[in-house]
């Protein structure tokens, strides 16, 4: 099952710093057999952008060094066009014009549900990359879970402990 984790969870995988100890324990269980064998856990470069704003330079470096531990969805940006400057026989310069909004209608709809820009991007990336679960402890998602799931029934928003409970063989 493809599972998207937002920055709260992606950072907690590295720093083990979830506020609720029960959720941290559930996250640790998800990262170990047998659960990890059933899950494809991914995030996006949106998590990286948020981690780069971490004030503590040591924590920021720790998060940066651990990026290879969680897969990144392939569709979290798009190339709109190229800006080029032609210098004739001396060459040219080409710069891509990139957007992080890969699905304008979905992004707008998520914003309409009350999500902030970064949160709407996280959920848009999960939806556009075929994720079936969106794992978070962020109340901005959890308080809107019913509206999100009504608008997008293909994805379920849940906490780590809720994902553990729905896994086969969970006790």
Domain of 72: which CATH number? 3.40.50.1010
Domain of residue 105 covers 2-166
Residue 1 pLDDT level (bands cut at 50, 70, 90)? very high
Asked if the structure places residue 112 within a domain, the reply is: yes
Residue 171 pLDDT level (bands cut at 50, 70, 90)? low
Asked if the structure places residue 68 within a domain, the reply is: yes
Asked if the structure places residue 81 within a domain, the reply is: yes
DSSP helix/strand/coil, 156: strand
Residue 22 pLDDT level (bands cut at 50, 70, 90)? very high
Asked if the structure places residue 11 within a domain, the reply is: yes
How far apart are alpha carbons 19 and 49 in whole angstroms?
A: 22
Asked if the structure places residue 119 within a domain, the reply is: yes
Instruction: Judge whether residue 161 has pLDDT over 90.
Output: yes
For the beta carbon of residue 14, count every other beta carbon within 10 angstroms: 17
Tracing tokens 């503590």 back to the chain, one arrives at 56
How far apart are alpha carbons 118 and 97 in whole angstroms?
A: 20
- Given this model, what pLDDT does residue 16 score? 86
- Given this model, what pLDDT does residue 18 score? 87
Phi then psi for residue 96, to 5 deg, are -75, 145
- Given this model, what pLDDT does residue 44 score? 94
Asked if the structure places residue 121 within a domain, the reply is: yes
Start-end of H helices in 66-144: 104-112, 117-128, 139-142
What digits encode the pLDDT tens for the residues 29-83? 998 888 888 899 999 999 999 999 999 999 999 999 988 889 999 988 877 888 8
For the beta carbon of residue 97, count every other beta carbon within 10 angstroms: 10
How far apart are alpha carbons 37 and 32 in whole angstroms?
A: 8
Q: Which of 134, 161, 168, 139 is nearest to 149 (CA)?
A: 134
Total domains in the chain come to: 1
What digits encode the pLDDT tens for the residues 109-146? 999 999 999 999 999 999 999 999 999 999 999 999 99
What digits encode the pLDDT tens for the residues 72-102? 999 888 778 888 898 989 998 989 887 788 8
How far apart are alpha carbons 138 and 4 in whole angstroms?
A: 13
- Given this model, what pLDDT does residue 170 score? 61
User: How far is the CA of 131 from the CAs of 18, 40, 65, 79, 122, in angstroms?
Assistant: 22, 9, 25, 22, 11
């Amino acid at each position: 099952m493809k599972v998207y984790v937002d920055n709260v969870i992606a950072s907690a995988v590295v720093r083990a710093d979830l506020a609720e100890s029960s959720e941290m324990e559930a996250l640790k269980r998800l990262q170990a057999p047998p659960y990890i064998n059933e899950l494809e856990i991914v995030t996006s470069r949106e998590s990286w952008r948020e981690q780069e704003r971490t004030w503590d330079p040591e924590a920021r470096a720790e998060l940066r060094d651990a990026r290879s531990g969680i897969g990144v969805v392939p569709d979290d940006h798009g190339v709109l066009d190229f800006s080029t400057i032609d210098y004739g026989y001396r060459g040219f310069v080409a710069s891509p014009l990139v957007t992080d909004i890969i699905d304008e209608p979905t992004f707008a709809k998520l914003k309409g549900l009350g999500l902030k820009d970064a949160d709407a991007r996280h959920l848009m990336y999960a939806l556009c990359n075929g994720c079936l679960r969106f794992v978070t402890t962020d109340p901005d998602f959890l308080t809107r879970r019913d509206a999100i799931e009504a608008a997008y029934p293909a994805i379920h928003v849940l906490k780590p402990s809720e994902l553990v409970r729905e896994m086969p063989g969970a006790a």
